[in-house]
Structure 1
Amino acid sequence: MNGPKFYHIGAAASLALLILWLLAWEMWVAPLKPGGSLLALKVIPLLLPLRGVIKRDVYTMQWSSMMILLYFAEGAVRAYSDIAPLSRFMAYGEIAFVCVYFACALLYLRPYKKAAKKMARELLDKVNRATHE
């Protein structure tokens, strides 16, 4: 499996698994209230980029890689502050899925960023040559 395909699958899978992980955490595994809590609604923002990530949309991968850092922060806070061991375990899982998604998204986007920089450099060189003539 080549690099971009591997990173795309890693990003899509980790995002889908993060959604399932968070739902399970807040509904069944360690909810704040027995029977589930409204905190499960935190998965809704993750559903927004899911389609674009699956379709390999570069713009979606860019903005979602920044948005997902909010979930890293939430996981870090809950891993540090939750008293229940099972809830802390779920927080560490959230952190792991976020890290996998972030790394895969950035590695998937790397060739696109290099190509954009190269095009910008060539355009700047062309403009500089035209102004000096």
Structure 2
Amino acid sequence: MASDTRFFRYLALISHTLLIVWLTLWQFTFTKVHTYSPVFIVLIYILPLLLPYRGVLKGKPYTHAWANFVVLFYLIHACTVVYAVPAERWYGVVELILCTTMFIGCSAFARKRGRELGLGIKKLKEEMEEEKAYFEQNK
């Protein structure tokens, strides 16, 4: 694995781990008034981040790409908190920073590692040339 690929892997992994820890601390320690039950908080705030965590730990590029879809929910949540909840604005800023670094790390790692492993999608021109050659041989 190239050094820049490794950097983005660790950026994604550390950001993902810190986001799980941060949301857990925020929802169970820092928040004074609990409007939701602990089960709801775990199901909505924590569980979605745990679903791709195993694949991120193992360094799978497909899971990193998939984890980006999950982190978008937290990005929206962070933007909403920063805008609408003045009492928790700085908690939202931390979540926003962690979401952004996780998104960058996951995107870059998935792209770079996928290319290293040859998992990229072929360009349409290459695909068409292969199909043309195949059908010309089988006439």
Q: What TM-score does the superposition give when structure 1 sets the normalisation length?
A: 0.84
Residue 70 of structure 1: aligned partner: 73
Which amino acid counterpart does residue 106 of structure 2 have in structure 1? A
* 1:8-87 paired onto structure 2 within 5 Å: 8-33=9-34, 38=38, 40-41=41-42, 42-84=45-87, 87=88
1:38-59 CA-partner distances (Å, limit 9, x unpaired): 3641111111111110101122
- Alpha carbons of structure 1 residues 130 and 109: separation in structure 2 relative to 1, 3 Å: same
Which amino acid counterpart does residue 54 of structure 1 have in structure 2? L
Q: What TM-score does the superposition give when structure 2 sets the normalisation length?
A: 0.81
**Greater RCO (CA < 8 Å, at least 6 residues apart):** 2
Preserved CA contact (<8 Å) 1:75 1:95: yes
Residue 102 of structure 2: aligned partner: 101
Select which of 119, 130, 134 maps to 1:130. Answer: 134
Which amino acid counterpart does residue 77 of structure 2 have in structure 1? E
- SS state at 2:86 partner: coil
Preserved CA contact (<8 Å) 1:31 1:37: no
Preserved CA contact (<8 Å) 1:25 1:31: no
TM-superposed CA distance for 1:128, in Å, is 1.6
Preserved CA contact (<8 Å) 1:10 1:101: yes
Preserved CA contact (<8 Å) 1:75 1:92: yes
Q: Percent identity among equivalent residues?
A: 25
- SS state at 2:33 partner: coil
